[in-house]
């Protein structure tokens, strides 16, 4: 009846899990109780859960990312504490089988549900506004994508309390991840969570690529798009080209596990190294899917706060697209030790060094943009400057490991762990934090508290160096990754230092929550009535904060890059244009619960497949199909906004923004 | 706001990329093209796996032993009967890596064709109940793209799997 699911699947005997379950459970209970008592359910349902507005979906992705950051960081703290303790005779508090789940969950969560969710969230929020359009190409599909990502989150978190998570590392290499060596449901949780959320990401990639290529305000040719839109285009092209490979690879592993196929097994002709190749053909582009939008955020932030147009717009665009193409030609540097031979390793080593060139071009462009600018040292600039220093170090250690003989020494060492955290934190996370602070006033109509924002930055910045510089040293001394215990006591002081860094980052994360609470309480003091709190350059700053559901009552006419900057140089002309405007009614998509219901049935399907509850899997599959079919017959998906309503809202904004 | 910019959309001399948002028909079909490209990438990964594993018969039957030359020219229904025939000869997907990659590649194609047939039925129903409104014609166009993309995949399967077995 319930497949492999029995009471034994719930780890009653593990106090850490049970305490976590109690804390998470009571937190969820208090949340549900508050929402019920305050009567917020209908608001949440109508305005958020069923929303097809790209801005709200973007905000929900960011909330998802923040929640999962807390979960992923809890895993990180557990690992750092374990390694600070488990030296010599001491074994620490995490047994190996638990430690293995913790590092696998940490990597999976941080990449797929923190970095990916936040980057997709920022792109969802900002790209249509920057392009001067009313929504993405397929608003309902956008909602479906978000909720499929949420299903992945749900399944990964369920694995904490029901059953177990993979013990295989974040990429689940076979033959360890095959059914013979991982007979539990951990790998199945991993595979189905990522298949489902990966489908959401693919659909979101198709959506945003179509949006950027086919829906731009009149006059916004490719050469006039903001750089963030260019980097978003590159990232989404990579999603469309790379995620299907992940789907196919996971499908092969699933067939191995469920149906006895032999793609990656040791026997009957299977080839485990084929998995490693396939997964990294997705995995390396994935690195650039995450970092390119972060580069875009920094480009916007630096140009805005230096008060100058971005230096070398064209070289920035060319560098972005060069990285987009080259990212498919370097995957083998993740496993030089496979033994493909000197020629193959040489080719991929050189390609890896070449991909550093366009990245270097970008760094110089940012420096030259800052040069001679009147820089306002606001929080996003802190993140941008911290990024430029930190990311260059991370990039250089990457080029160092691109030399195959050096990689043979450093492969799977803590040096590698330090390198990719150097780029993932110093690049992606700093970019997410910069974008979060930069676009927050656009999303909610008030700025975040600057003082606490700067404190958050310093905690992350110093905390990062404290936590990861020791790992470079430990890696050179021979400490390997995924190590639960070590005999060499001389490593312990460096491990203590790393734990100190992690604790400082913990303070940073806590301060982010404090910053949100304080900023909401001070929102009248920090309110943005003009829609342009930073003296911005691109079109998102030309509308009110928060923008109306349709963003632009009249689509802007774009005449050059930094369209809004040049528009506002002539304020009298802006006022004249506003006075002469006549509004026409237009259609906007209606909210729909289709995304939520598809996700509901898909969650049932995923859970049933993990536990092999076949009847539930059939119900889940048919339910999701039925919801899609019902949606196919929906002919009243849009509603007309009357011209009078638009005019009232626009006048109100114009009065506040001093445009009349 | 000056007059040249005002008339952007209908100005014949303005490049396409400067003309503003495309029509719903263009947007829907372009999005579907992107989906098809991603689908082709997925098949490419399976073809790559087949290319790597096609010689790995683990002492079992090879393609040349298994494939019926007459079956090669017609598919779908015969795909199913071919699968059953192979399994009954002890050449199921768990017999060797070659057969795993064969069953997945050809099976995924078969799954796509089945999906396409179901989609076709849905389109019949949509045309009957909703008529040829723009929403329905857009979907018919996308269905056409999907169906012919499967032809291309079949050309690949035919060449690499079936003809390739007799090289």
- Judged by CB atoms closer than 8 Å, whether chains meet at B41 and A244 is answered as yes
Whether the per-residue pLDDT at B71 is higher than 60: the answer is no
Question: What pLDDT shows up at residue B165?
Answer: 84
Q: Could you report the per-residue pLDDT of A595-629, keeping only the tens digit for each?
A: 999 999 999 999 999 999 999 999 999 999 999 99
Computed over every residue of chain B, the mean pLDDT equals 87
Torsion of the alpha carbons at A440, A444, A447 and A452, rounded to the nearest 10: -70
Q: Which residues of A touch B30 (CB under 8 A)?
A: 210, 213-214
Beta bridge partners of residue A486, listed in sequence order: A87
Whether the per-residue pLDDT at A114 is higher than 80: the answer is yes
Whether the per-residue pLDDT at B163 is higher than 70: the answer is yes
- pLDDT band with cut points at 50, 70 and 90 for residue B7: very low
Q: Could you report the per-residue pLDDT of A432-448, keeping only the tens digit for each?
A: 999 999 999 999 999 99
CB-based contact A335:A280 (threshold 8 Å): yes
Q: Could you report the per-residue pLDDT of A260-278, keeping only the tens digit for each?
A: 999 999 999 999 999 999 9
Q: Which residues of A touch B25 (CB under 8 A)?
A: none
Question: What pLDDT shows up at residue B5?
Answer: 40
| Its pTM surpasses 0.90 | yes
* Residue appearing with tokens 């045309």: B127
Query: Which among A139, A199, A214 is the top mutation candidate for probing chain B, defined by the most B β-carbons within 10 Å of its own β-carbon?
Result: A214
Query: Which among B24, B97, B133 is the top mutation candidate for probing chain A, defined by the most A β-carbons within 10 Å of its own β-carbon?
Result: B97
**DSSP code string of A84-112:** HH-BTT---SS-HHHHHHHHHHHHHIIII
In A190-303 the beta strands, taken as DSSP E runs, fall at none
Name the nearest CA neighbour of A647 among A550, A565, A561, A569: A550
Over the range A322-344, which residues count as b (16 or more CB within 10 Å of their CB) and which as e? bbbebbeebbbbbbbeeebeeee
B39, B49, B139 ranked by CB distance to A252: nearest: B49
Q: How far apart are CA A480 and CA A484, in angstroms?
A: 10
For residues B149-163, average pLDDT: 91
**DSSP code string of B92-151:** -TTS-HHHHHHHHHHHHHHHHHHHHHHHHHHHHHHHHHH-S-HHHHHHHHHHHHHHHHHH
Q: Could you report the per-residue pLDDT of A225-243, keeping only the tens digit for each?
A: 999 999 999 999 999 999 9
Query: Which among A127, A208, A218, A220 is the top mutation candidate for probing chain B, defined by the most B β-carbons within 10 Å of its own β-carbon?
Result: A218
Beta bridge partners of residue A87, listed in sequence order: A486
Query: HSE of A68 in the Cβ direction (CA atoms, 13 Å)?
Result: 30
A347 burial type by CB count under 10 A (0-12 exposed, 13-18 middle, 19+ buried): middle
Whether the per-residue pLDDT at A10 is higher than 90: the answer is no
B21, B122, B133 ranked by CB distance to A632: nearest: B122
Whether the per-residue pLDDT at B38 is higher than 70: the answer is yes
Question: What pLDDT shows up at residue B86?
Answer: 85
Q: Could you report the per-residue pLDDT of A350-407, keeping only the tens digit for each?
A: 999 999 999 999 999 999 999 999 999 999 999 999 999 999 999 999 999 999 999 9
Report CA A431 to chain centroid distance, whole Å: 10
Q: Could you report the per-residue pLDDT of B89-100, keeping only the tens digit for each?
A: 888 899 999 999
Complex confidence, ipTM: 0.93
- pLDDT band with cut points at 50, 70 and 90 for residue B63: confident
Q: What percent of chain A has pLDDT over 90?
A: 92
CB-based contact A461:A501 (threshold 8 Å): no
> How far B49 CA lies from chain A's nearest CA (Å)?
7
Nearest CA in chain A to B122: A629
DSSP state of A479: P
CB-based contact A86:A142 (threshold 8 Å): no
Whether the per-residue pLDDT at B13 is higher than 90: the answer is no
Whether the per-residue pLDDT at B2 is higher than 60: the answer is no
Q: Which residues of B touch A214 (CB under 8 A)?
A: 21-22, 26-27, 30
Residues 6+ apart with CB under 8 A from A517: none
For residues A494-522, average pLDDT: 97
**Distance (Å) of CA A183 to CA A258, A511, A604:** 11, 41, 22
Computed over every residue of chain A, the mean pLDDT equals 95
> How far A248 CA lies from chain B's nearest CA (Å)?
6
Whether the per-residue pLDDT at A100 is higher than 70: the answer is yes
Whether the per-residue pLDDT at A4 is higher than 50: the answer is yes
Q: Which residues of B touch A628 (CB under 8 A)?
A: none
CB-based contact A301:A381 (threshold 8 Å): yes
Name the nearest CA neighbour of A249 among A277, A269, A287: A277
Torsion of the alpha carbons at B15, B17, B23 and B24, rounded to the nearest 10: 160
Q: Could you report the per-residue pLDDT of A37-89, keeping only the tens digit for each?
A: 999 999 999 999 999 999 999 999 999 999 999 999 999 999 999 999 999 99
Q: How far apart are CA A126 and CA A438, in angstroms?
A: 11
Q: Could you report the per-residue pLDDT of A550-593, keeping only the tens digit for each?
A: 999 999 999 999 999 999 999 898 889 888 888 999 999 999 99
3 state DSSP class of A446: strand
- Judged by CB atoms closer than 8 Å, whether chains meet at A269 and B9 is answered as no
Q: Which helix (H) or strand (E) element contains residue A121?
A: helix A116-131
Q: Pick the residue with more confidence: B69 or A550?
A: A550
- pLDDT band with cut points at 50, 70 and 90 for residue B3: very low
CB-based contact A433:A460 (threshold 8 Å): yes
- pLDDT band with cut points at 50, 70 and 90 for residue B6: very low
Name the nearest CA neighbour of A143 among A34, A45, A288, A21: A45
Name the nearest CA neighbour of B138 among B21, B27, B38, B16: B27
Q: Pick the residue with more confidence: A198 or A573?
A: A198
- pLDDT band with cut points at 50, 70 and 90 for residue B78: confident
Question: What pLDDT shows up at residue B77?
Answer: 64
Q: How far apart are CA A343 and CA A228, in angstroms?
A: 37
């Amino acid at each position: 009846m319930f497949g492999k699911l029995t009471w034994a699947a719930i780890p009653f005997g593990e106090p850490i899990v049970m305490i976590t379950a109690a804390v998470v459970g009571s937190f969820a209970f208090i949340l549900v109780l508050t929402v019920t008592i305050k009567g917020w359910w209908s608001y949440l349902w109508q305005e958020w859960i069923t929303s097809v507005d790209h801005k709200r979906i973007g905000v929900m992705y960011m909330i998802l990312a923040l929640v999962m950051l807390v979960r992923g960081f809890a895993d990180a703290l557990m690992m750092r504490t374990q390694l600070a303790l488990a030296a010599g005779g001491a074994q620490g508090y995490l047994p190996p089988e638990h430690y293995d789940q913790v590092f696998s969950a940490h990597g999976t969560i941080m990449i797929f549900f923190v970095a990916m969710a936040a980057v997709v969230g920022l792109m969802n929020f900002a790209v249509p506004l920057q392009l001067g359009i009313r929504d993405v190409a397929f608003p309902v599909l956008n909602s479906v994508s978000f909720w499929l990502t949420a299903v992945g989150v749900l399944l990964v978190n369920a694995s904490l309390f029901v059953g177990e998570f993979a013990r295989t590392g974040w990429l689940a290499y076979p033959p360890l991840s095959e059914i013979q060596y991982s007979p539990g449901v951990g790998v199945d949780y991993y595979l189905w969570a990522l298949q489902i959320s990966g489908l959401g990401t693919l659909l979101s990639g198709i959506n945003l690529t179509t949006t950027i290529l086919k829906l731009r305000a009149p006059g916004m040719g490719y050469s006039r798009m903001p750089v963030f839109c260019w980097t978003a285009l590159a990232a989404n092209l990579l999603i469309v080209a790379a995620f299907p490979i992940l789907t196919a690879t996971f499908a092969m592993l699933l067939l191995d596990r469920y149906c006895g196929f032999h793609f990656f097994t040791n026997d009957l002709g299977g080839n485990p190294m084929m998995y490693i190749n396939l997964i990294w053909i997705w995995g390396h582009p994935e690195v650039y899917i995450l970092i390119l939008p972060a580069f875009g955020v920094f480009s916007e932030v630096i140009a805005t706060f230096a008060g100058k147009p971005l230096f070398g717009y064209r070289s920035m665009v060319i560098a972005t697209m060069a990285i987009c193409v080259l990212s498919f030609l370097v995957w083998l540097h993740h496993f030089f030790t496979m033994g493909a031979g000197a020629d193959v390793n040489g080719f991929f080593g050189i390609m890896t060094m070449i991909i550093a060139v366009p990245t270097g071009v970008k760094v110089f462009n940012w420096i030259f943009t800052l040069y001679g600018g009147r820089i306002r040292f606001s929080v996003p600039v802190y993140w941008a400057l911290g990024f430029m220093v930190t990311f260059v170090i991370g990039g250089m250690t990457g080029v160092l490991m691109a030399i195959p003989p050096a990689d043979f020494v450093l492969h799977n060492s803590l040096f590698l762990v330090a390198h990719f955290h150097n780029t993932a934190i110093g690049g992606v996370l700093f970019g997410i934090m910069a974008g979060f602070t930069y676009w927050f006033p656009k999303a909610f109509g008030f700025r975040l508290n600057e003082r606490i924002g700067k404190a958050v930055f310093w905690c992350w910045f110093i905390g990062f160096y404290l936590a990861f510089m020791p790992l470079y040293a430990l890696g050179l001394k021979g400490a390997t990754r995924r190590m639960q215990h070590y005999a060499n006591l001389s490593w312990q002081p460096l491990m203590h230092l790393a734990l100190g860094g992690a604790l400082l980052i913990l303070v940073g994360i806590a301060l982010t929550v404090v910053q949100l609470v304080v900023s909401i309480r001070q929102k009248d003091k920090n309110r943005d009535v003009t829609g342009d709190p930073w003296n911005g350059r691109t079109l998102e700053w030309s509308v009110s904060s928060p923008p109306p559901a349709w963003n632009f009552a009249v689509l802007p006419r774009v005449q050059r890059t930094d369209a809004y900057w040049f528009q506002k140089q002539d304020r009298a002309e802006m006022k004249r244009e506003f006075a002469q405007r006549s509004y026409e009614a237009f259609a906007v998509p209606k909210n729909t619960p289709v995304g939520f219901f598809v996700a509901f049935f898909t969650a049932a399907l995923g859970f049933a497949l993990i536990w092999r509850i076949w009847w539930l899997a059939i119900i889940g599959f048919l339910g999701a199909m039925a919801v899609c079919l019902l949606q196919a017959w929906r002919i009243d998906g849009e509603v007309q906004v009357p011209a009078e309503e638009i005019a009232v809202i626009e006048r109100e904004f114009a009065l506040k923004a001093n445009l009349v | 706001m000056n007059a040249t910019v005002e008339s952007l959309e209908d100005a014949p001399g303005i490049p396409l990329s400067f003309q503003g948002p495309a029509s719903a028909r263009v947007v829907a079909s372009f999005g579907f093209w992107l989906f098809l490209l991603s689908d082709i990438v997925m098949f490419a990964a399976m073809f790559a796996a087949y290319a790597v594993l096609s010689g790995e018969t683990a002492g079992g039957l090879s393609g040349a032993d298994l494939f019926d030359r007459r079956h090669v020219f017609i598919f779908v229904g015969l795909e199913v009967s071919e699968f059953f025939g192979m399994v009954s000869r002890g050449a199921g997907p768990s017999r060797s890596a070659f057969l795993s990659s064969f069953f997945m590649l050809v099976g995924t194609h078969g799954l796509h064709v089945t999906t396409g047939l179901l989609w076709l039925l849905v389109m019949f129903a949509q045309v009957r109940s909703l008529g040829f409104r723009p929403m329905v014609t857009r979907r018919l166009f996308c269905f056409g793209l999907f169906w012919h993309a499967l032809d291309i995949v079949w050309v690949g399967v035919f060449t690499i799997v079936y003809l390739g077995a007799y090289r």
